[in-house]
């Protein structure tokens, strides 16, 4: 992930974003693409995302806005065209892989060299009500959503968590000791595997504390109520738009002790030798925080995101000693997500 001179100061967010994007591209298209291809997809997706807020207006009354905002419509079509030219060949090549596997009468998914990727699942999907397969254009939108929704959110969360790991060296020490205890029982094994993560309750607590204290999204996506409802004595009329103050929930002093402090231990239950984490992150029983939203439109990838965060944090702490360059500044700035105003810089020393 990093190429660095021993102990050099690294601005980590660009590496986190790129690593996360590569991982999602692999999960999406099932292929390890060339770096130049990945960069082409990334640049195109960024362009689309930057322009997106300006396109919301076009939705209000398309017949009218097509006359009033011709230039903006033109730009939207141009960007969409570019997106097609980059993503459709990748979808088609996956289609071919699937067809060839079928022709050989063996499933591509049983083949050890291939993974079941997101596009495979889209190709296999039949819309139950409409009784039809997805159009290629619909798959482009879904792949685009998959890449956009997963990259900044996870890499932002990772940066906030690592910032706290650098700021609070005692947390880093505890993490390292926990990882060592799990990994060193296997001789000659230096990579942390997915299964190891189940035996690292303190790591899980650090991730949850990161999502509570620094949720990447301070609001969920806007929702509209389908009928009049009364909430806490207030009427929300049909079609009224509602949102939730995600960050404020996680910082509520009536629910959390010292809410602005970074204290992973708050998520640990059980004695010293039997520590575990039992927390209802999806808000099925009660909602104490909701970094992924809650209910029907909850982030569909909450489990995946937590797995990615655990995997990255564990390996980063296992492989490197993370030291401060300057005092870690936890001020926030609004971009696509709530990011660190002064991105984390750390001095990394390989441990092994
Ligand atoms: C730490 C990482 C992540 C956080 C904090 C996060 C948070 C959220 C939130 C708050 C929502 C809106 C929920 C609502 O409107 O009620 C959402 C929606 C969504 N997220 Fe995530 N997310 C993360 C990672 C991911 C990843 C890795 C993917 C995909 C690979 C993903 C895909 C989506 C999609 C597709 C939606 C829209 C769901 C819908 O419209 O019903 N997210 N996420």
CA geometry: angle at 176 spanning 257 and 10, to 5°? 95
Ligand 1 binding pocket includes 193 (Cβ within 6 Å) = no
Atom of ligand 1 nearest to the CA of 306: 1
For residue 38, give every residue at least 6 positions away whose Cβ sits within 8 Å of its Cβ, in sequence order, or none: 21, 22, 25
Q: Is the CB of 70 under 6 A from ligand 1?
A: no
Could you tell which of 149, 211, 283 is best to mutate to test the pocket of ligand 1, judged by most ligand atoms within 8 Å of the CB? Answer: 149
In short, whether 305's Cβ falls inside 6 Å of ligand 1 is yes
Q: What pTM was estimated for this model as a whole?
A: 0.92
47-64 pLDDT per residue, tens: 998 888 888 888 888 888
pLDDT score recorded for residue 226: 94
Domain edges within the chain: 8-30+115-350
* Interface confidence (ipTM) of the complex: 0.99
For domain 8-30+115-350, is the CATH number 1.10.630.10? yes
Distance 321 CA to ligand 1 centre (A): 31
Q: What is the pLDDT of residues 277-298, one digit of tens each?
A: 989 999 999 999 999 999 999 9
End-to-end CA separation in angstroms for the chain = 16
Query: How many angstroms does the Cα of residue 342 sit away from the middle of ligand 1?
Result: 25
> What's the confidence (pLDDT) of residue 272?
67
Q: Which residues of the chain have pLDDT under 50?
A: 108, 112
Cβ contact 179:198 at 8 Å:
no
Query: Is the C-beta atom of 210 inside 6 A of ligand 1?
Result: no
């Amino acid at each position: 992930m990093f190429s660095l001179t021993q102990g050099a100061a690294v601005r980590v967010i660009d590496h986190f974003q790129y690593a996360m994007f590569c991982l999602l591209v692999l999960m999406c298209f099932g292929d390890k693409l060339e770096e130049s291809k990945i960069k082409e997809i990334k640049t195109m997706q960024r362009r689309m995302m930057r322009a997106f807020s300006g396109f919301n207006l076009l939705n209000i009354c398309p017949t009218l806005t097509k006359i009033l905002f011709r230039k903006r419509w033109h730009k939207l079509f141009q960007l969409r065209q570019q997106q097609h030219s980059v993503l459709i060949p990748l979808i088609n090549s996956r289609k071919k892989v699937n067809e060839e596997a079928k022709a050989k009468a063996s499933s591509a998914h049983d083949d050890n060299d291939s993974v079941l990727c997101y596009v495979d699942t889209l190709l296999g999907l039949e819309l139950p009500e409409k009784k039809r397969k997805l159009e290629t254009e619909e798959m482009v939108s879904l792949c685009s959503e998959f890449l956009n929704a997963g990259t900044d959110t996870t890499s932002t969360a990772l940066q906030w968590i690592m910032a706290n790991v650098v700021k609070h060296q005692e947390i880093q020490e505890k993490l390292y000791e926990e990882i060592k205890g799990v990994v060193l029982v296997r001789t000659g094994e230096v990579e942390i595997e997915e299964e190891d993560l189940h035996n690292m309750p303190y790591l899980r607590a650090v991730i949850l504390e990161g999502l509570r204290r620094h949720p990447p999204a301070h609001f969920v996506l806007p929702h509209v109520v389908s009928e009049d409802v009364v909430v806490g004595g207030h009427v929300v009329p049909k079609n009224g738009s509602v949102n939730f103050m995600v960050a404020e929930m996680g910082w509520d002093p009536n629910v959390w002790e010292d809410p602005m402090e970074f204290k992973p231990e708050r998520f640990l239950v059980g004695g010293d030798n039997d520590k575990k984490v039992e927390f209802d992150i999806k808000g099925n029983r009660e909602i104490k925080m909701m970094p992924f939203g809650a209910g029907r439109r909850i982030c569909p990838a909450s489990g995946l995101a937590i797995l990615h965060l655990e995997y990255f944090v564990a390996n980063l702490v296992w492989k490197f000693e993370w030291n401060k360059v300057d005092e870690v500044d936890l001020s926030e700035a609004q971009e696509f997500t709530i990011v660190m105003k002064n991105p984390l810089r750390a001095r990394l020393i390989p441990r092994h």
